[in-house]
């Protein structure tokens, strides 16, 4: 039984909630181990079509646990950073779409875990930032790598060098966040978005995610080659035949993930 996370599945959509509200959902080793175990199960679930990641209470994730980290030496710091970064990379590589529904503070490790998701949406009360330099360290869960890949380089550097916070609206303006909603609407909007992903051909969505993520890490010609190969593989699937038949017959498609 997990102590610090909650997981539920509504039809084919998963909802993973970080549940340590007494510490504003700060990430310590126990929290990360529970997320790691959950991700292992998510990787096995072939019926899952989308995942929503959120937090309990007034915080999404306020960062990594500073009291826990304050005793680190170089070796324990390296081990901690590697463990979290490996976990976050696995989250980023989940085959189905992932949505971070940021309900409050997303600072440090909280901003970093949000950035593992394909799409970030936020409550009007959300705050984002990478304040690590104010503690004498740098982002250690891949924040120096993901933030410049999601927002213009100058904004990433300003946020990381300055260590300040920005509002949800500011995060939307720089492209970190897709949409900002009233707090009471956030989870309904997250579910609405997840359903818009889940209704489509699951193999096609999986291949689209792979093409984007792999292509963004290479040159455009290599990316086009990746896309072409994955596009071609779609024509080996029953879902492609069903999707096109449904279009021609003017009826909803019944995708089977085959």
Give 35-65 pLDDT, tens digit per residue: 999 999 999 999 999 999 999 999 999 988 8
- What digits encode the pLDDT tens for the residues 236-251? 999 999 999 999 999 9
> If we measure between CA atoms, which residue out of 95, 104, 115, 219 comes closest to residue 176?
115
Residue 185 falls in the annotated catalytic set:
no
Tokens read off for 225: 């080659």
Residue 112 falls in the annotated catalytic set:
yes
pLDDT of 42 reads 97
Q: Which of 8, 112, 158, 185 is catalytic?
A: 112
pLDDT of 2 reads 84
pLDDT of 64 reads 84
- The CA distance from 216 to 58, in Å, is 34
> If we measure between CA atoms, which residue out of 23, 173, 181 comes closest to residue 101?
181
Q: What CATH architecture does domain 5-198 belong to?
A: Alpha-Beta Complex (3.90)
| Fold assignment, 202-248 | Lyase 2-enoyl-coa Hydratase; Chain  A, domain 2 (1.10.12)
Tokens read off for 254: 């019944």
pLDDT under 50: residue ranges of the chain: none
Are 50 and 97 contacting, i.e. CB atoms less than 8 angstroms apart? yes
- The CA distance from 186 to 184, in Å, is 6
202-215 and 220-234 helices, crossing angle to 10°: 170
Q: Which of 124, 132, 169, 192 is catalytic?
A: 132
Domain boundaries defined on the chain: 5-198, 202-248
């Amino acid at each position: 039984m997990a102590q610090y996370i909650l997981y539920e599945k509504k039809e084919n959509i998963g909802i993973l909630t970080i549940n340590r509200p007494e510490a504003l959902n700060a990430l310590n080793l126990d929290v990360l181990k529970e997320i790691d175990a959950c991700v292992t199960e998510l990787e096995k679930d072939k019926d899952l079509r989308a995942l929503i990641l959120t937090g309990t209470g007034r915080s999404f994730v306020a960062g990594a646990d500073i009291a826990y980290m304050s005793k680190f030496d170089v070796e324990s710091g390296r081990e901690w950073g590697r463990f979290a970064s490996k976990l976050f990379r696995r989250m980023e590589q989940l085959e189905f779409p992932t949505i971070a529904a940021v309900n409050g503070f997303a600072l440090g490790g909280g901003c970093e875990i949000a950035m593992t998701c394909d799409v970030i949406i936020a409550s009007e009360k959300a705050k984002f930032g990478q304040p690590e330099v104010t503690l004498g360290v740098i982002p250690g869960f891949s924040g120096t790598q993901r933030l410049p890949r999601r927002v213009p380089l100058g904004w990433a550097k300003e946020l990381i060098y300055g260590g300040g916070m920005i509002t949800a609206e500011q995060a939307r303006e720089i492209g970190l966040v897709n949409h900002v909603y009233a707090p009471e609407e956030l989870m309904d909007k997250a579910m609405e978005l997840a359903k818009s992903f889940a209704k489509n051909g699951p193999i096609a969505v999986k291949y689209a995610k792979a093409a984007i993520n792999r292509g963004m890490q290479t040159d455009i010609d290599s990316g086009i080659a990746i896309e072409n190969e994955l596009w071609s593989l779609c024509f080996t699937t029953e879902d492609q035949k069903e999707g096109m038949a449904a279009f021609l017959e003017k009826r909803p498609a019944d995708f089977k993930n085959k």
